Structure 1
Amino acid sequence: MSSNRSLSPVWPFPALDISLALVERSFDPAARIEAASGASGIALPEDFSEAVLSRQTAFLAGRLCAGDALGHAGAAERHVSRDRAGLPVWPVGFHGSITHSEALAGAVVANADSCRGIGLDFENIGTPDVAAEIAELVLTDRDRRTISDIEAPDIATATILVFSLKESLYKAIYPMLGDDAGFEDAELTRAADGRAVLRLRRKLGLTLPEGHELVGVYNVSADLVRTLVLLD
């Protein structure tokens, strides 16, 4: 994993009407990370010291992406700290989100004036059996009706897409949550041509009323689903 150069932004989604900086970085989950960590100046958190190598490498790759994305978004500060729950804390004036799949990390950053929150998620497309298990935990009746029209290769991929969109949604709204939230608290109402709309099924905070809609975008490749959701 190269850490000594800044990567250029990418954009695999349909266009949105706000400026976002998105960076992706491939990584080897079995690679040693000491040299990369030292070169980047990013230290592993203490609670990662006993983590498996793939988790350590994914953390570093995600933080490298976050630093690059902050730089491209115009932030002077490129360090992303962590709160007590281990969630990213972004520099004042910016919102962001970090994600990783088995071998690809990514981070997206937006100016805080352009949105209230943003969520990014990557999911590897697994087996139909795994997708069926996820469906039982994630899909509402409305989700099931909506995915029947999604232009995905199969129902398993469509299921992973809904799961990923909801993961992105919860990352976007987490700072605003006034209560615990589950997958059943949001539903996919529309998905076509790489664009999606999700609606909250109940009030989740003072600024997150029942019925509030969030816009999402997505990209489906042969083995990976990418999703991004905005809280305006």
Structure 2
Amino acid sequence: MADTNTPLPGCCGPWLPDWPWPQPLAGAHWMGLRFQRERFMPEPWAGGPVEPPDSVRGAAPKRQLEYLAGRLCAHAALHRLTGRATVPGSTPSRAPAWPAGVVGSITHSGDLAASIVARRSAWRGLGLDAELPMNPERAERLAAQILTPGERERLTAMDPADRGIFVTQVFSLKESLFKALFPLVGVRFYFQDARLVARDEAMTTATLELLASLSPDWPAGTYLTGQVGRLGDHLLSLITIPA
């Protein structure tokens, strides 16, 4: 159900159907939309809910539009959660600055933007990432950077036609893992610091293991769970950390 309290400029919308993952998430609210680069006009902010920082106002139109679309999704999701019209700002690390008592995540890829939010009392962390599937050539080129040695062994055993999807799924899950964990640990970590240890046949659910100790609360060997959904051509991964 669209949030009619969030006005959409001509370059953004309509709102997308609810919840693209196979399993529900108690208390979480997700909003997504498509945006059209050819309909984007400079300075679309007047009269709208999103007030961009100077770094975005001076950025290329592509960056301005991605910021606008992502914050519109966050605004709508926050309104569903809290009943208040709030737009997250940015932290010094350029991550979204959520209201007190709220956790969330924003993503954009291609012509898609989305956000998910929930109460911090229910979820310590949420990480959301959208990706268009890599073609096999790009997947092969990036595999050594994204995949651990064990993940690369799985890749080589696959049919070549399936490799692009696999690398994209692992990439997206690790991006979501970073978004969910970085606000909790304050330490940057990288693709080789986590590995995929389990997934269902369709990879709609997955388990990741930390290979590096990020803090006393998040040692190596910690397991985290995620989901992967489809929305049109996009893969959408979600990592959740219960309170």
The verdict on a shared fold, with TM-score over 0.5 as the criterion, is: yes
- Partner of residue 167 from structure 2, selected from 145, 159, 170: 159
Aligned to 1:117: 125
User: RMSD between aligned alpha carbons?
Assistant: 2.6
Output the CA distance in 2 between the equivalents of 1:91 and 1:207.
24
Aligned to 1:89: 97
Q: Are 1:208 and 2:213 counterparts? A: no
Q: Which amino acid aligns with 1:215?
A: T
- Partner of residue 230 from structure 1, selected from 230, 237, 240: 240
Aligned to 2:8: 3
Greater shift in the superposed pair: 36-45 or 164-173:
36-45
- Aligned identity (percent) is 31
Aligned to 1:41: 49
Q: Are 1:24 and 2:29 counterparts? A: no
Q: How far is the alpha carbon of 1:110 from its aligned partner?
A: 1.1
Q: How far is the alpha carbon of 1:195 from its aligned partner?
A: 0.5
Q: How far is the alpha carbon of 1:53 from its aligned partner?
A: 1.1
Q: Which amino acid aligns with 2:225?
A: V
Q: Are 1:132 and 2:140 counterparts? A: yes
3-state SS, counterpart of residue 78 of structure 1? coil
- Tell me the TM-score normalized by structure 1: 0.89
- Tell me the TM-score normalized by structure 2: 0.85
Describe the shift of the 1:222–1:110 C-alpha distance in structure 2 as closer, same or farther (beyond 3 A).
Answer: closer
Describe the shift of the 1:58–1:6 C-alpha distance in structure 2 as closer, same or farther (beyond 3 A).
Answer: same
Describe the shift of the 1:23–1:138 C-alpha distance in structure 2 as closer, same or farther (beyond 3 A).
Answer: same
Greater shift in the superposed pair: 109-118 or 38-47:
38-47
Instruction: Extract unaligned runs of 5+ from structure 2.
Output: 1-6
Aligned to 1:219: 229
Output the CA distance in 2 between the equivalents of 1:150 and 1:72.
42
3-state SS, counterpart of residue 46 of structure 2? helix
3-state SS, counterpart of residue 123 of structure 2? coil
